[in-house]
């Protein structure tokens, strides 16, 4: 039971670290607007997601063997006297936090680019222009008939 859990945690940590590395590459590709690189990264992320889902199912069944309703955080208490398992659990939670942080950075970058696209699109639509008197004209662009 303990060895199986340790093996699954080790595999999950490896998968999360790989995912974090891929997300870092994805963020860099988004920032640099390198769409070819982005397209090449996405299939790897999808493959890794499937592997993570399989690992999650194994982890879930391993947790159930510790008792119904046992969560990962509960293992810290269950294995409080086992330094090796505590080290593995700490590593798991640390890797998970790094992955979540990378996901948040990616969300912010994507949100920024989407807002920028909306901004540029709205500029092209000329939603808000100035009229002859220098006031905002919400009806759209008006023709300037000034003299030179």
Q: pTM of this prediction? A: 0.75
Q: What is the pLDDT of residue 86?
A: 93
Residue 136 lies in a domain: no
Q: What is the pLDDT of residue 102?
A: 96
Per run of 10 residues, the mean pLDDT along the chain (length 148 residues) is 90 97 95 93 96 94 84 88 93 96 95 86 65 61 52
- Domain of 63, CATH number, reads 1.20.58
Contact 133, 142 (CB under 8 A): no
Structural domain span for residue 118: 2-130
Residue 82 lies in a domain: yes
Structure token digits, residue 114? 């989407």
Whole-angstrom distance, CA of residue 120 vs CA of residue 2 = 56
Structure token digits, residue 108? 């912010």
Q: What is the pLDDT of residue 47?
A: 96
Chain centroid to CA 113: 15
Q: What is the pLDDT of residue 2?
A: 83
The total number of structural domains that make up the chain? 1
Q: What is the pLDDT of residue 139?
A: 56
What is the 8-class DSSP label of residue 137? E
């Amino acid at each position: 039971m303990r060895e199986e859990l340790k093996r699954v945690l080790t595999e999950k940590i490896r998968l999360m670290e790989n995912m974090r590395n891929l997300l870092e590459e994805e963020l860099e590709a988004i920032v640099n607007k390198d769409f070819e690189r982005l397209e090449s990264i996405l299939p790897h992320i999808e493959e890794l997601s499937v592997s993570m889902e399989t690992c999650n199912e194994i982890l879930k069944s391993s947790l159930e063997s510790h008792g119904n309703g046992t969560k990962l955080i509960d293992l810290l208490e269950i294995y409080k006297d086992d330094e090796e398992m505590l080290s593995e659990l700490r590593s798991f939670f640390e890797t998970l936090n790094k992955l979540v942080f990378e996901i948040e950075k990616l969300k912010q970058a994507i949100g920024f680019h989407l807002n920028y696209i909306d901004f540029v699109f709205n500029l092209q639509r000329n939603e808000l222009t100035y009229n002859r008197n220098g006031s905002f004209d919400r009806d759209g662009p008006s023709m300037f008939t000034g003299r030179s």
